[in-house]
């Protein structure tokens, strides 16, 4: 029995010892295992920390790049003004509340509060456009100016300019919308980057930035919605206006073509009328005046067409001209007198194109042929005449005579009413001992010979003029007169000659008279002479004594 107990005790001890040894080994193994696990965990933490640092640096670099791009973003700068407005507005409300609550403030403190309130109000006034708008006035599209209706061809240019202007406004507003969209997307990207950064490194400043960006994103989201809606409405309004302007341009172009067609029709009619009348007036100078009347009528009709086509209220224009007529008449007196003179010339016909006239203005006198009669002036070309020979010594000049000269100056017509001849005179001075009767007869015969054709023409022309004028002295035969002058006997011969070639016939007749007088021994032409008597005397101061006859060659000298 004892043996059995001893054996059992031994077995129990052995088992306990084995168990103890086994427990110690397990503890050692567990320690080793835990140590290995800790080492592995430490290695994983270090690796994770390195990876986090790399990702944080990447995110920070990305954020820095975004903020760098935002430096020149006008929308964010305007948004900062919006925040400033909100901040100043809140401060102003606080100051006003403080002023209301503290009724028993010292006078100095109350004065300071009032000054602060005024300063804040001035600051708000400077940035007042940001009240309720994160980007200020940019949120409102450019105002569309009211365009005037196109009433004339020049309005087409203004209309095209308006179309270009409102197109630019639409493009500007569309570009603003795209800029807001881009800014909104970039803000969203920056916000996500900060959220990722905060997940890796939960700093308070990142949390504040996330809150700010979320508010900024919400504000820009609202702005984007408003601008998008406004852009659609604004675009449709612009399309409507452009369509209306283009319709008016089309109508104005059609009107221009219609007026142009009417003017062309009037020109064709005037051309056909001129062509028809030319067959009847081609041989007379009246065709020029008829042509002038047709041109004036054409210009008047064209002017009336343009006036009634492009002036909406003609009566208004007439009223204005009625009030202004007095001042215009005074300021443009000569202009109106010339215009009235043209009407008198055209209706009376006392001066026509082709007539030879003489115009006298002060000491200036000229004779020439009428080239043109316009609304304000008569154009004449100076010819070689007796006036040129005696006074001007120049010819061929073009003179422009104002039409108002017919009321104030002397204008003589040498070829009025188809009367193409004028009286011209030649004076010959003879000595007192000449046979003046024979000289008078010679001059009369020469004048009759050279002026016979002109006398017959004048007789016929004067007969025609009796229907228009009362004529009494209508003699056309040459006239010769004799006058006694201090230096001799003057025989004045007058004859009819061509008013356009008077100088030629005058030269011919003068030559014939001179040659005829040279053949007569009892006819002497008087001219300035001087007679010198040379007498020798011993007393140069008293009467000549013992007079001696001078040599014959010195007896009489003619200078």
pLDDT of residue 449: 92
User: Region 411-432: what's the mean pLDDT?
Assistant: 88
Beta-strand relationship, 410-413 and 488-498:
unpaired
pLDDT digits (tens, 9 = 90+) for 183-199: 888 888 888 888 888 88
Distance CA 212, CA 326 (A): 76
pLDDT of residue 480: 94
Considering 101-115, 164-178, 490-504, the range whose residues carry the highest mean pLDDT is 490-504
424 and 506 in contact (C-beta within 8 Å)?
yes
Where do the structural domains in the chain lie, given as residue ranges? Answer: 2-53, 73-140, 149-285+298-311, 313-414, 417-519
Q: What is the CATH number of domain 313-414?
A: 2.30.30.60
Alpha helices in 382-527 (DSSP H): 386-387, 405-408, 436-465, 502-519
289 pLDDT more than 60 = yes
Residue of 549 and 344 predicted with greater confidence: 344
pLDDT of residue 39: 53
CATH 3.30.70.100 fits 417-519, yes or no: yes
Q: Which long-range contacts (CB under 8 A, 24 or more apart) does 215-223 make?
A: 216/79, 216/187, 217/184, 217/187, 217/188, 217/191, 219/79, 219/82, 219/134, 220/75, 220/79, 220/134, 220/180, 220/183, 220/184, 220/187, 221/184, 222/134, 223/133, 223/134, 223/135, 223/139, 223/180
pLDDT of residue 114: 78
User: Residue 318's pLDDT band (boundaries 50, 70, 90)?
Assistant: low
9 pLDDT more than 60 = no
pLDDT of residue 391: 84
Please enumerate in sequence order all residues whose Cβ is within 8 A of that of 308, keeping only pairs 6 or more positions apart, or say none. 314
> Residue 71's CB: how many other CB atoms inside 10 A?
8
pLDDT of residue 352: 84
In this predicted structure, which of 36-45, 202-211, 467-476, 539-548 has the lowest mean pLDDT?
Answer: 539-548
536 and 455 in contact (C-beta within 8 Å)?
no
62 half-sphere exposure, CB direction, 13 A CA radius: 18
Q: Tell me the β-bridge partners of 428.
A: 491
215 and 248 in contact (C-beta within 8 Å)?
no
Considering 16-30, 55-69, 229-243, 425-439, the range whose residues carry the highest mean pLDDT is 425-439
In angstroms, what is the C-alpha Rg of the chain?
60
pLDDT digits (tens, 9 = 90+) for 20-72: 444 445 554 555 555 555 554 555 566 767 777 888 788 888 888 888 877 77
pLDDT of residue 75: 79
User: Region 361-370: what's the mean pLDDT?
Assistant: 87
User: Residue 482's pLDDT band (boundaries 50, 70, 90)?
Assistant: very high
pLDDT of residue 262: 92
222 pLDDT more than 60 = yes
Which residue in 455, 356, 476 sits closest to 411, CA to CA? 356
82 half-sphere exposure, CB direction, 13 A CA radius: 21
In this predicted structure, which of 111-125, 149-163, 184-198, 317-331 has the lowest mean pLDDT?
Answer: 317-331
Which residue in 425, 419, 461, 422 sits closest to 443, CA to CA? 425
User: Residue 547's pLDDT band (boundaries 50, 70, 90)?
Assistant: very low
């Amino acid at each position: 029995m004892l043996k059995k107990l001893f054996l059992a005790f031994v077995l129990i001890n052995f088992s306990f010892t084995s168990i103890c040894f086994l427990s110690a080994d397990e503890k050692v193994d567990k320690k080793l295992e835990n140590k290995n696990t800790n080492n592995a965990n430490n290695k994983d933490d270090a690796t994770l920390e390195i990876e986090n640092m790399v990702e944080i640096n990447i995110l920070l670099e990305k954020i820095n790049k975004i903020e760098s791009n935002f430096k020149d973003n006008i929308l964010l700068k305007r948004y900062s003004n919006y925040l400033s407005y909100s901040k100043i507005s809140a401060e102003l409300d606080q100051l006003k509340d403080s002023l209301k609550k503290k009724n028993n403030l010292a006078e100095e403190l109350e004065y300071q509060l009032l000054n602060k309130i005024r300063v804040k109000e001035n600051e708000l006034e400077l940035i007042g456009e940001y009240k309720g708008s994160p980007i200020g006035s940019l949120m409102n599209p450019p105002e569309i100016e009211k365009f005037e209706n196109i009433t004339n061809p020049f309005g087409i240019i203004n209309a095209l300019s308006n179309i270009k202007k409102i197109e630019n406004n639409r493009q500007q507003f569309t570009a603003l919308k795209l800029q807001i969209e881009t800014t909104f997307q970039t803000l969203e990207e920056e916000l996500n980057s900060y959220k990722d950064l905060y997940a890796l490194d939960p700093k308070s400043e990142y949390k504040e930035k996330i809150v700010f960006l979320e508010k900024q994103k919400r504000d820009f989201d609202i702005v984007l919605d408003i601008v998008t809606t406004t852009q659609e409405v604004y675009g449709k309004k612009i399309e409507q206006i452009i369509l209306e302007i283009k319709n008016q341009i089309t109508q104005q172009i059609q009107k221009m073509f219609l007026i142009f067609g009417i003017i062309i029709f009037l020109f064709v009619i005037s051309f056909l009328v001129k062509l028809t009348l030319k067959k009847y007036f081609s041989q007379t100078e009246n065709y020029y005046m008829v042509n002038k009347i047709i041109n004036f009528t054409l210009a008047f009709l064209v002017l009336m067409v343009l006036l009634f086509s492009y002036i909406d209220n003609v009566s208004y224009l007439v009223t204005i001209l009625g009030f202004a007529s007095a001042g215009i008449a005074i300021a443009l007196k000569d202009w109106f007198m010339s215009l009235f003179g043209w009407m008198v010339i055209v209706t009376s016909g006392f001066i026509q194109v082709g007539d030879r006239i003489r115009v006298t203005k002060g000491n200036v006198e000229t004779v020439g042929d009428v080239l043109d009669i316009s609304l304000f002036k008569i154009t004449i070309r100076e010819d070689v005449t007796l006036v040129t020979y005696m006074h001007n010594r120049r010819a061929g000049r073009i003179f422009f005579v104002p039409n108002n000269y017919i009321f104030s100056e002397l204008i003589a017509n040498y070829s009025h009413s188809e009367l193409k001849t004028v009286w011209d005179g030649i004076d010959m001075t003879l000595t007192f001992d000449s046979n003046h009767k024979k000289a008078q007869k010679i001059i009369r015969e020469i004048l009759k010979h050279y002026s016979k054709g002109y006398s017959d023409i004048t007789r016929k022309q004067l007969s025609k003029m009796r229907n228009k004028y009362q004529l009494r002295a209508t003699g056309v035969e040459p006239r010769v007169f004799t006058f006694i002058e201090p230096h001799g006997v003057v025989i004045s011969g007058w004859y009819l000659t061509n008013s356009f070639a008077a100088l030629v016939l005058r030269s011919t007749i003068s030559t014939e008279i001179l040659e005829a007088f040279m053949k007569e021994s009892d006819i002497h032409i008087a001219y300035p002479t001087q007679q010198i008597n040379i007498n020798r005397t011993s007393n140069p101061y008293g009467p000549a004594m013992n007079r001696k006859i001078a040599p014959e060659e010195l007896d009489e000298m003619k200078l």
